[in-house]
Amino acid sequence: MDIVVIGAGQAGSSLVAKLRALGHEGSITLIGEEPVPPYQRPPLSKAYLLGDMEESRLYLRPEAFYADQGITLRLGGKVTAIDRENREVHLGDERISYDALALTTGSQPRALPAAIGGDLEGVFTVRSLADIDRMQPELREGRRALIIGGGYIGLEAAAVCAKLGMQVVLVEMADRILQRVAALQTSDYFRGLHQRHGVDIREGTGLERLTGEGRVSGAVLSDGEDLAADVVIVGVGITPCTQLAELAGVLLDNGIKTDAKGRTSDPAIYAAGDCASFPYKGGRIRLESVGNAIDQAEVVAENMLGAEKDYIAKPWFWSDQYDTKLQIAGLNTGYDDIVTRPGEGGAVSFWYYCGDELRAVDAMNDSRAYMVGKRLIEMGKSPAKAAIGDPASDLKALMRG
């Protein structure tokens, strides 16, 4: 059986490695648009942007791994079409046949429209290695950085700019940073953290337009203020890369629609990672995380070889800002109460409940709270709120309760 995987990111790399580990002997072709081997994305906006990590350390596996495993790695190649009837992938004028196809095409950052200055020089998004390589020389001490968006990408970029000695203003159109993804308590924690590092956070403030002739020199905000800026970093979310699937007539639903086994509306085509939406607790979700990309891709690899195994998501996420490590377990959808648990040395965790059910945990510099919370959620256990809020209670004992 010949297998083709389109998208050479975390999910694609994990999928092809798992296929060989499971003993698949047929051909495997991994196609990526970027000219470099599959690499980690999270360090791009942190250690790599700061200059603390070399490019080769970003690679998920040495390039030689793919050849050693008999995996054909096609880099710098753009797939233009999928011919479902003949089971072929079009790579320019070349045709690559498949018996089974996996789409691990990932996601792309939302860009600012050109009409409001999004195409000016000095305006950047944070997604690819090339993005960071273009941006890095621009980030210098004393320069003025404007960050658009108060989600995790924007906050991580703000932290890097502040650490480099730049003057940083962050604008968030919503009433508070992290409003879409976190509780008020987590927003308050990170607002305070950034303000202590000199970041000027403007909440409830949107961008009217960027200004400059050819190159960005400033911005007009929704409150009418004219702001000077040497560099603008845009972190206003990402969208799944579904263009190929859509052109091929594969069904979409907030991403490429799959069943619990990762199979799309075409039984010969699977999807995994940021681009895929899948059944979850009676609904459908699409997860943008490294953990999901790996776990889902590995289940898809098993199912491409006939396992017929359902993917059961165990959501977890993280973010590094300054000397704070945020670890998130679970999904906080539908929460109606937050329990705060103080940790040692300034650590803290926020526990999300819906009624008496534990849904998620945000842990700041508290790996124990994160690990226990993650395990409790996976076990379907919801400790009493009073026990969670009591810093003297033994967290591990709660798993035995």
Q: Which two tokens stand for residue 20?
A: 């060989």
Residue pair 238/127 in contact (Cβ under 8 Å)? The answer is: yes
Report the pLDDT value the prediction gives residue 211, as an integer from 0 to 100. Answer: 98
State which amino acid sits at residue 251: L
Cβ 352 vs Cβ 338: under 8 Å: yes
Distance in angstroms (rounded) separating the CA atoms of residues 220 and 223: 8
Q: Is the domain covering 323-400 a CATH 3.40.50.10880 domain?
A: no
How is domain 111-234 classified at the architecture level of CATH? Answer: 3-Layer(bba) Sandwich (3.50)
Two domains, one topology: 3-108+238-304 and 323-400 = no
Q: How far apart are CA 355 and CA 322, in angstroms?
A: 34
For residue 184, the model assigns a pLDDT of 98
Which own/partner pairs from 184-189 qualify as long-range (CB within 8 Å, at least 24 positions apart)? 184/338, 185/338, 185/340, 185/350, 185/362, 186/326, 186/350, 186/362, 189/348, 189/364
Boundaries of every domain in the chain: 3-108+238-304, 111-234, 323-400
pLDDT tens, per residue, the chain with 401 residues: 999 999 999 999 999 999 999 999 999 999 999 999 999 999 998 889 888 999 999 999 998 999 999 999 999 989 999 999 999 999 989 999 999 999 999 999 999 999 999 999 999 999 999 999 999 999 999 999 999 999 999 999 999 999 999 999 999 999 999 999 999 999 999 999 999 999 999 999 999 999 999 999 999 999 999 999 999 999 999 999 999 999 999 999 999 999 999 999 999 999 999 999 999 999 999 999 999 999 999 999 999 999 999 999 999 999 999 999 999 999 999 999 999 999 999 999 999 999 999 999 999 999 999 999 999 999 999 999 999 999 999 988 888 86
- Residue 356's identity, in one-letter code, is D
Tell me, what's the pLDDT at 75?
96
The CATH fold assigned to 3-108+238-304 is: FAD/NAD(P)-binding domain (3.50.50)
